[in-house]
Amino acid sequence: MSERHVLTRRGLVLKTPLVAGAAGLMAARPWRAFAMSGRPQFTHGIQTGDVIGDKAVLWARADRPARLMVEWSTTESFARSSKVMGPATLDVDDYTARVTVDGLPDGQRIFWRASFVDLQDINAVSEPVTGRFRTRPTAGTDVSFAWSGDTCGQGWGINPDFGGMKIYEEIRKAQPDFFIHSGDTIYADGPIKAEVALPDGTTWRNVTLEGKHKVAETLDEYRAAYRYNLMDANVRAMNLEVPTFFQWDDHETTNNWYPQEVIAAADERYAVKSAALLSARARRAFLDYAPIMGTESGEVKIHRHIPYGPMLDVFFLDMRSFRGPNTANLQDEASDETAFLGQQQIRWLKQRLLASRATWKVIAADMPIGLQVPDGKTAEGIAQWEAVANGDMGAPKGRELEIAGLLAFIKANDVKNVVWLTADVHYTAAHYYNPEKAKFTDFKPFWEFVSGPLNAGTFGPNALDDTFGPELKYVKAPEEGQVNLPPSDGMQFFGHVRIDGKTEVMTVTLMDIAGDKLWATDLTPEA
- Which one-letter DSSP state was computed for residue 169? H
Q: What is the reported pLDDT for 99?
A: 97
Q: What is the reported pLDDT for 88?
A: 98
Q: How far apart are CA 434 and CA 443, in angstroms?
A: 9
For residues 280-302, give the mean pLDDT.
94
Q: What is the reported pLDDT for 408?
A: 98
Tell if the pTM clears 0.75, that is, is over it. Answer: yes
Give the CB-side neighbour count of residue 388, counting CA atoms within 13 A: 26
H or E stretch including 421? strand 418-422
Domain spanning 8-134, CATH architecture: Sandwich (2.60)
Over residues 375-431, the pLDDT tens digits come to 999 889 999 999 999 999 999 999 999 999 999 999 999 999 999 999 999 999 999
Give the CB-side neighbour count of residue 273, counting CA atoms within 13 A: 7
Is the model's pLDDT at 9 over the cut of 60?
Answer: no
The per-residue pLDDT of the chain, averaged, comes to: 93
Over residues 326-337, the pLDDT tens digits come to 999 999 999 999
Q: What is the reported pLDDT for 334?
A: 97
Q: What is the reported pLDDT for 379?
A: 86
Over residues 26-58, the pLDDT tens digits come to 333 333 333 334 999 999 999 999 999 999 999
Q: Give the start-to-end residue ranges of the domains of the chain.
A: 8-134, 143-185+235-248+292-523
Cis peptide before 461 (omega within 30 of 0): yes
Closest CA to 170 of 111, 231, 230, 242: 242
Reduced to 3 states (helix: H, G, I; strand: E, B; else coil), residue 341 is coil
Confidence band, pLDDT 50/70/90 cuts, at residue 14: very low
Q: How far apart are CA 484 and CA 71, in angstroms?
A: 44
Q: What is the reported pLDDT for 296?
A: 79
Within 8 A by CB and 6+ apart from 126, the residues are: 17, 39, 40, 41, 42, 62, 66, 115, 116, 117
Q: What is the reported pLDDT for 6?
A: 33
Confidence band, pLDDT 50/70/90 cuts, at residue 4: very low
DSSP structure string for 431-500: EEE-GGG-SS--S--EEEEE---SBS-B--PPPB-GGG-EEEEEEE-PPTT--SB-GGGS--EEEEEEE-
Q: What is the reported pLDDT for 22?
A: 32
Phi and psi at residue 348, to the nearest 5°: -60, -45
Question: In this prediction, what percent of the chain has a pLDDT beyond 90?
Answer: 91
For residues 163-189, give the mean pLDDT.
98
Other Cβ atoms within 10 Å of 219 Cβ, number: 16
Is the model's pLDDT at 167 over the cut of 70?
Answer: yes
Is the model's pLDDT at 7 over the cut of 50?
Answer: no
- Domain 143-185+235-248+292-523 grouped into CATH 3.40.50.150: no
Q: What is the reported pLDDT for 493?
A: 99
Q: What is the reported pLDDT for 24?
A: 39
Q: What is the reported pLDDT for 511?
A: 98
Confidence band, pLDDT 50/70/90 cuts, at residue 295: confident
Question: In this prediction, what percent of the chain has a pLDDT beyond 70?
Answer: 93
Q: What is the reported pLDDT for 378?
A: 87
Confidence band, pLDDT 50/70/90 cuts, at residue 131: very high
Confidence band, pLDDT 50/70/90 cuts, at residue 127: very high
For residues 469-483, give the mean pLDDT.
97
Confidence band, pLDDT 50/70/90 cuts, at residue 239: very high
For residues 105-114, give the mean pLDDT.
98
Q: How far apart are CA 68 and CA 362, in angstroms?
A: 33
Reduced to 3 states (helix: H, G, I; strand: E, B; else coil), residue 286 is helix
Helix ranges, 268-399 (H): 275-289, 343-355
Please state, in angstroms and as integers, the Cα–Cα distance from residue 45 to each residue in 96, 332, 363, 472, following that order.
11, 50, 29, 40
Q: What is the reported pLDDT for 17?
A: 36
Mean pLDDT lowest among 26-30, 33-37, 100-104, 344-348: 26-30
Q: What is the reported pLDDT for 23?
A: 33
Give the CB-side neighbour count of residue 171, counting CA atoms within 13 A: 36
More confident residue, 36 or 518: 518
